[in-house]
Amino acid sequence: MATLSEAERAAIVQCYHNDLSHEEAAYVLGCPVGTVKTHILRAKQKLKARLSGWGPET
What's the confidence (pLDDT) of residue 21?
A: 98
d(CA 16, CA 12): 6
Class of domain 6-51: mainly alpha
pLDDT at 7: 98
Instruction: Residue count of the chain, please give it.
Output: 58
The pLDDT tens digits of the residues spanning 2-33 come to 889 999 999 999 999 999 999 999 999 999 99
Higher-scoring residue by pLDDT: 31, 56 = 31
